[in-house]
Amino acid sequence: MMMAVSDRFGLGWRSRLALGILSHLDRIDLVEVIADDFFRATRRERRALRTLAAQVPITLHGVTLGMASCVAVETKRLDQMARLCEEVKPVSWSEHLAFVRGGGIEIGHLAAPPRTAATIGGAIANLRRAWAVVGVAPQVENVATLIEPPGSDRDEAAWVAEIIRNSESDLLLDLHNLHANALNFKFDPVDFISRISPERIGSIHLAGGRWIGRPDAQRLLDDHLHDVPDPVYDLLEEVAARVPHALTVIIERDGNFPPIEWLIDQLDCARRAVSRGRSRQKAIAA
């Protein structure tokens, strides 16, 4: 397979997958750990994470900072992320372009904010603060949404592209989120990809989902409980055909766990998709 030397493929670290992951480190290049689980962890639990990091490179993924908001990210949470990064020395860290609280209420959901100049400004300010406190700029992930954020004055691609363009953060492009939004709101996901500077795509998330809702108003839900569908691999190939540098590709699976070999096979599918994309890129360059 033709891939850039350091394209990396990994899985999200989950309790149920622990033994499977550690048994297949010859085929898993890195793991993604949910950072927030360790913000209040005991010393012993954090040390176990360091031990994991000694076995396999890890990347930290945040879910509760709430970057895409006009409200400033809480300093305490950024400090916790900074401490964790200092302890674990991940290869990168990331957060979502979402808000997770408002008016003091934790909404327990990665919600897409209105796509306006105000939320762009808020997100850029939060990302700069995160960069300053943690010392490394986070990669930021596009989120899935079941409704178009009310009050938006631009589409998702324009909103994401502007945040990326005006911040130091690269994009963690979640291709299943993109796939789901594209189906739910009827836009072309390849057009989305073409509107993001390829140099600014740092990592890729892959996942699966399911259809919900009435037959006449169905929505694809990104639930991380199902296999990565074929169109998402096609999008991965598309990204790999454009991005000039090495990619990090993570498959997220949060439940309904299949045997680990099944997930490893999906990683191999991802490898093949990247390989196809790289071949196309090389052919165009030639």
Partner 1 sequence: MNPFDLPGPQFLLFYIIFAGAVIGALIYWRRYVESSKTPKIDLSDPYLIAYLRGGEAEVLRVATVSLIDRGLLVAEGTTLKRAENAPPESARRTVEQALLKKYARGGEVSSMFEDDGLKKACQSYDVTLRRAQLLADENVTQARLIRLVIASFLLSGVGFTKVLIALNAGRTNVGFLVVLTIASLFVAAAVSFPRLTESGKTMIEDVQNLYGGLRDRAMFLAPGGATIEPMMLAAAFGVGALHGEGFTYANRLFPRQKGTSNSCAAADAGCGSSGSSCSSGSSCGSSCGGGCGGGCGGCGG
| Closest CA relative to residue 55, chosen from 84, 80, 81, 18 | 18
In angstroms, what CA-CA distances link 120 with 117, 137, 169, 282? 5, 16, 13, 35
Stretch of residues binding partner 1 (CB under 8 A), selected from 95-103, 154-162, 184-192, 266-274:
95-103
Of positions 42, 104, 283, 284, contacts partner 1 by CB under 8 A: 42
Q: How far is the CB of 20 from partner 1 (least distance, A)?
A: 8
Query: Per CB under 8 A, does 37 bind partner 1?
Result: yes
Distance CA 227, CA 230 (A): 9
The footprint of partner 1 on residues 13-32 (CB under 8 A) is 13-16, 18-19, 22-23, 25
Stretch of residues binding partner 1 (CB under 8 A), selected from 161-169, 232-240, 250-258, 265-273:
250-258
Helices (H), the chain: 18-23, 43-55, 75-88, 117-134, 156-165, 175-185, 189-194, 230-242, 260-285
Enumerate long-range contacts of 185-191, CB under 8 Å, 24 or more apart. 185/148, 187/155, 187/156, 187/157, 189/235, 190/235, 190/238, 191/157
Question: Amino acid identity of 97?
Answer: L
Q: How far is the CB of 280 from partner 1 (least distance, A)?
A: 29
Query: Per CB under 8 A, does 183 bind partner 1?
Result: no
Are 236 and 274 a contacting pair, CB within 8 Å? yes
Residue 169, Cβ density class (10 Å: 0-12 exposed, 13-18 middle, ≥19 buried): buried
Stretch of residues binding partner 1 (CB under 8 A), selected from 124-132, 157-165, 232-240, 254-262:
254-262
The footprint of partner 1 on residues 120-139 (CB under 8 A) is none
Of positions 1, 2, 107, 132, contacts partner 1 by CB under 8 A: 107
Q: How far is the CB of 173 from partner 1 (least distance, A)?
A: 13
Query: Per CB under 8 A, does 206 bind partner 1?
Result: no
45 to 84: interface string for partner 1, x by CB under 8 A: xxxxxxxx-xx-----x-xx--------------------
Are 159 and 167 a contacting pair, CB within 8 Å? no
Query: Per CB under 8 A, does 223 bind partner 1?
Result: yes
Of positions 11, 28, 81, 144, contacts partner 1 by CB under 8 A: 144
Q: How far is the CB of 98 from partner 1 (least distance, A)?
A: 7
Q: Which residues bind partner 1 (CB under 8 A)?
A: 12-16, 18-19, 22-23, 25, 33-34, 36-38, 41-42, 44-52, 54-55, 61, 63-64, 96, 98, 100, 106-112, 141, 143-145, 174, 177, 207, 212, 221-225, 252, 254-256, 259
